[in-house]
Amino acid sequence: MHMSSESLLVILIVGLIAGWLAGQIVNGTGFGIVGDLVIGIVGAFIGNWLLPQLGIHLGTGIASAIINATLGAVLLLVIMRLLRLQSGWRGSWGGNWRRRW
């Protein structure tokens, strides 16, 4: 599979935007450029797999890709937060979240 530099750039931009949006939705702050990028790209994989399994199709285009990746990234962050709370680990954002709820 050959990937052009333009498609790689689109993937990185979508991942960065989706990771930042998910960080804003779930935690209220971002995780830095690298953290947002990783969360957004992994979230895009989750969203691209999960939403069609649920019968949800958002269409094509950059806006639907960002929404899809953001939904996957939000799900990823919620799962990460639940796992951290169950294990008793109180990280920098785990303890703050517990106080708000």
Residue spans of the chain under pLDDT 50 = 97-101
**pLDDT at residue number 2:** 66
Residue in the structure block whose two tokens are 């947002």: 36
**pLDDT at residue number 99:** 47
Angle at 63 between CA 58 and CA 12, to 5 degrees: 115
Instruction: Find, among 52, 43, 49, the residue nearest to 15 by Cα.
Output: 43
**pLDDT at residue number 85:** 67
